[in-house]
């Protein structure tokens, strides 16, 4: 096979994979996690189920692809909103995270609230972090706060703590919609501000000396 033909084939595979991921996002938005099946995905794009299996071995692999795609979209939104003040830049990232989660509850449930049954194959923790550009944005902004003297300690530990708080708030808002939280986005920011105040009052130590898995 010539180089041109090989490149064309790779481009076609990438385009079909992107089409499958886009169709999976649409299914999740419309029907939730339960609506995402290989058969429904194949029907949606007009291919035989076996064609889908050549790109994704199972539902878990589709879920990982959705997560990767969601992180890219979320990171793009975060980078478009960056105030000069480093703490305000962190808050702005939390706002974008909240708007993404609250605006796409089915997708958020599927990507962020579904247990991952197996880790990505042959990926180190550093590689997995690089595959989550949204988390990189938060970490970069935390590092800017540390440089400015507004936060102290380990940047990844601080970023993970903020992610934990934001995720917890959004998860509660999605799963307990009738609880009187007040304005949803304001609630996420309020909890985020409490977390930032607590983090600013202490030097945050690393979470662990050992590499981990997402």
Per-residue pLDDT of the chain (214 residues; tens, 9 = 90+): 567 656 677 777 778 888 888 888 888 888 877 888 888 888 888 888 888 888 888 888 888 888 788 888 888 888 888 889 999 999 999 999 999 899 888 888 887 887 766 655 555 445 555 557 888 999 999 999 999 999 999 999 999 999 999 999 999 999 999 999 999 999 999 999 999 999 999 999 998 876 554 4
Q: Coil, strand or helix: which one is 204?
A: strand
What's CA 200's distance to the chain center, in Å?
A: 25
pTM of the predicted structure, to 2 decimals: 0.77
The CB density around residue 92, as the number of other CB atoms within 10 Å, is 18
Closest among 51, 54, 61 to 24, alpha carbons compared: 61
Q: Coil, strand or helix: which one is 152?
A: strand
What was the pLDDT predicted at 182? Answer: 95
Cα 157 to Cα 67, 197, 204, 207, 208: the distances in Å are 21, 15, 7, 6, 9
What was the pLDDT predicted at 18? Answer: 84
What was the pLDDT predicted at 165? Answer: 95
What was the pLDDT predicted at 121? Answer: 56
Query: What is the spatial distance between Cα 195 and Cα 166, in angstroms, rounded to a whole number?
Result: 9
The CB density around residue 5, as the number of other CB atoms within 10 Å, is 9
What's CA 136's distance to the chain center, in Å?
A: 11
């Amino acid at each position: 096979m010539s180089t041109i033909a090989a490149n064309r084939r790779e481009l076609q595979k990438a385009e079909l994979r992107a089409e499958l991921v886009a169709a999976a996002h649409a299914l999740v938005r419309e029907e939730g996690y339960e609506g995402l099946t290989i058969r429904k995905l194949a029907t949606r794009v007009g291919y035989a189920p076996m064609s889908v299996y050549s790109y994704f071995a199972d539902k878990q692999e589709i879920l990982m692809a959705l997560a990767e795609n969601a992180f890219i979209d979320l990171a793009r939104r975060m980078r478009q909103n960056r105030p000069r003040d480093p703490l305000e830049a962190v808050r702005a990232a939390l706002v974008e995270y909240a708007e993404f989660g609250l605006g796409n509850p089915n997708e958020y449930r599927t990507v962020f609230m579904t247990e991952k049954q197996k880790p990505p194959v042959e990926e180190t923790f550093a590689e997995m972090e690089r595959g989550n550009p949204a988390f990189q944005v938060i970490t970069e902004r935390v590092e800017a706060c540390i440089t400015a003297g507004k936060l102290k300690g380990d940047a990844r530990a601080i970023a993970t703590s903020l992610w934990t708080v934001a995720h917890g708030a959004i998860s509660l808002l999605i799963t307990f919609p009738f609880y009187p939280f007040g304005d949803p986005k304001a609630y996420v920011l309020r909890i985020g501000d409490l977390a930032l105040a607590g983090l600013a009052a202490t030097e945050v130590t690393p979470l662990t000396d050992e590499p981990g898995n997402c």
